[in-house]
Amino acid sequence: MLDGRFRSSIEVWTRPIGRSVRKTGVTADQVTFAGLVMSVLAAVTIGAGHLGWGCVLLALTGIPDTLDGAVAKASGTASQRGAFFDSTMDRVTDALLFGGVAFYLAGNPDYSPRAMMWAFAAFGTAVLPSYIRAKADALGLEAKGGFVERAERFIILGIGLVVEPLLVWTLVLLVALNTLTAVQRFAKVWTLADKPVVVPRSTRARRKARVGTKTPASVRWEARRAAARERASARRSS
């Protein structure tokens, strides 16, 4: 939701930063990898019970995720491989962060042993909208938007880390919102996929169609040729 509404405003700020980072020689893939390193530190910090510092590292994890695209555009290196690497690292980051939360809940006697399952459920439902979008892109359809995207998930999880009594409830909220987002995207793709797809014929197919179809002019031309052959045959026989 935030990504769709404020993307243009965010790009106004990230574009000059991306150009500055490019001048240092840092590539977009290196920026993406830096975000992965930050997520590892955040997961370890959260798992160790330092939730406040974990929230700080969570916020820092979002910075490379915002800048890697700007660096790629500034350096002219935006590619399918870079998009694939970025998307894969996003899923790994989500797994690390929610894994850190699950580890903390499992080792904290103040929480029920079942509380950690909400962290796994939050991660599982967070992956589903991403999968729907990726599959829709592969089919040439669009499945962006929804109730929550990655930025909103970071914000909600950060609130739970800062206000620890709300941690489990923020996970429950994420499960609900992620599920609603998945249903929303599924319905959107289902509607778009129901429309008939017009497949343009290739030039060769059009030529074959023209060759195989007899027009009135071609019929008259063949009739004249047949008549000429008959006259020639009659002359030879005479």
**Average pLDDT taken over every residue of the chain:** 83
Under 8 Å between Cβ of 66 and 14: yes
* Between residues 76 and 166, the one the model is more confident about: 166
pLDDT of residue 238: 47
Query: Looking at residue 111, what DSSP letter applies?
Result: S
pLDDT of residue 4: 53
pTM over 0.85? The answer is no
| 6: exposed, middle or buried (Cβ count in 10 Å: 0-12, 13-18, 19+) | exposed
**For residue range 168-222, what is the model confidence (pLDDT) as tens digits?**
999 999 999 999 999 999 999 999 888 765 555 555 555 555 555 555 666 666 7
Catalytic entry in 29, 68, 90, 94: 90
Q: How many residues does the chain have?
A: 238
* Between residues 37 and 220, the one the model is more confident about: 37
* Between residues 42 and 23, the one the model is more confident about: 42
* Between residues 125 and 224, the one the model is more confident about: 125
**For residue range 116-138, what is the model confidence (pLDDT) as tens digits?**
999 999 999 999 999 999 899 88
In order, the DSSP letters of 9-60 are HHHHHHHHHHHHHHHTT--HHHHHHHHHHHHHHHHHHHHTT-HHHHHHHHHH
pLDDT of residue 9: 65
Per-position b or e across 138-148, b if 16+ CB within 10 A of its CB: eeebebebbbb
**For residue range 75-117, what is the model confidence (pLDDT) as tens digits?**
787 788 888 999 899 999 999 999 999 999 999 999 998 999 9
Q: What share of the chain is helix, strand, coil (3-state, %, to 5)?
A: 80, 0, 20
- The verdict on whether 90 is a catalytic residue reads yes
